[in-house]
Amino acid sequence: MENKIKSVRPGSIAEEMGIERGDCLLSVNSIEVKDIIDYKYLMSNEYVEVEIEKKGREIWKLEIEKEYDEDLGVEFEEAILDKPRNCHNNCIFCFIDQLPPGMRKTLYFKDDDSRLAFFQGNFVTLTNMADEDIDRIIKYRISPINVSVHTTNPELRVKMLNNKFAGNIYSRLKKLTENGIKINCQIVLCPGINDGLEFKKTVEDLYKLYPGIENVAVVPLGVTKYRKGLFKLKQYDSISAGKQLQIAEKLQHKYLYETGAPFVRLSDEFYLVSGSKIPNSKFYEDYSQLEDGVGVVRIFRDNLDKNIDYLKMDRRGSFTFLTGDLAYRDVKFAADRISEKNPDIAIEVKKIINNFFGNTITVAGLITAADIIDQVKDDSLGKYVIIPECMLRKGYEISRSKKRAFLDDVTLEDLEKALGREVLVCDYTGNDLIDIINENSEVK
């Protein structure tokens, strides 16, 4: 394994010691560096001995005195230095199993890697880890980590993950929290499987480990049109989604009284599908669960309220907003407010139906460029098209690519050519929406 160095920061220890791009880091203090976690932990001393393999295979042994929190000043070619660990589960709700054939190979890779949970915020199940790995998290103080729990019922978790080692989740969570590791938990709710009373018990079990477990995000399963041969699952409708909210609200009332925070929060989809009122901003605190779709609607509405008065009244322009079915009403409301504020800003909102994965997928983050092109290429569009950045890929599998692209591998530039329009990318929280409109409108 080669921990190849991609770049050396000017003025750094590495530059001073003659370390160059293309060199490889072999060890620190005679301990092999397996990944970035090893590197960061081993470098946290004021004196280190570093072993470097030069491009010509010569081995350098360097003695370095430095500040406690100072590192070499290098960037590695891979964030975790070796390949991410493959998932050993076969979850009944796994979205990757529902992908259509013929997509890019990396999209079919299932990771369950605690290092990615630390550096990129990925959720892991802890089933891919030996006891030594748990001890390593504790030793290196890898905190917080994100854990996909789904249920604390051992038998049910084994069934849901199709992994005979999945039942020990609670004892592992307990060990981690007792040793000072902070954990954010996620539950994917499946109708008739782990919701209802099972959901209630899981949250109550996790709350016993508070504040070690800081919060719980609850998301509904996603069901595409490619589930042939897979475990039969239903989707949430207005009634069943509302029932899960009622269960959560009773628990939240108790936890708010005891701790000042709701502890468990359901994603926006439950509120929108059931027609329930979106909670206020105080409920979401620092919006730390936005990646789970928790609080996106509230922060989008609040950002619009906060920024609408900054809309420039001496401008005119035309725009087309693209979004999914789930967010359409809120995006349309925002567009109407902007146009009411300045009638010379014309905005049309187009709802993109997800034919690629199936119309059961309604979130904007899973819309592909193919569906956009198919559905709007012949329409009359504004001078600019605006999309939320969640439509574009991100994460480990594109870490070396600078091109922004959709899940179907069509780049942003390709979409612009197909539509004959410049496509502007807006933060999915709407924080920069008014700025984008101001900057791309012309003076009257």
Summarised one tens digit per residue, pLDDT across range 198-234 is: 999 999 999 999 999 999 999 999 999 998 888 999 9
Using left for φ > 0, alpha for ψ between -120 and 50, and beta otherwise, residue 24 falls in beta
Question: Is the pLDDT reported for residue 384 higher than 70?
Answer: yes
- With a CB cutoff of 8 Å and minimum separation 6, the contacts of 250 are none
Summarised one tens digit per residue, pLDDT across range 402-444 is: 578 898 989 999 999 999 999 999 999 999 999 999 999 999 8
Specify the DSSP element, H or E, that contains 174.
helix 169-178
Summarised one tens digit per residue, pLDDT across range 251-279 is: 999 999 999 999 999 999 999 999 999 99
Rounded Cα distance, 166 and 363, in Å = 29
Q: Give the pLDDT band of residue 98 (cuts 50, 70, 90).
A: confident
Q: Which two tokens stand for residue 424?
A: 């502007």
Confidence (pLDDT) at 116: 53
More confident residue, 33 or 69: 33
pTM for this predicted structure: 0.81
The structural domains of the chain, ordered by start, are 5-76 (2.30.42.10), 96-294 (3.80.30.10), 301-443 (3.40.50)
**232-242 average pLDDT score:** 95
- With a CB cutoff of 8 Å and minimum separation 6, the contacts of 396 are 79, 80, 84, 111, 116, 120
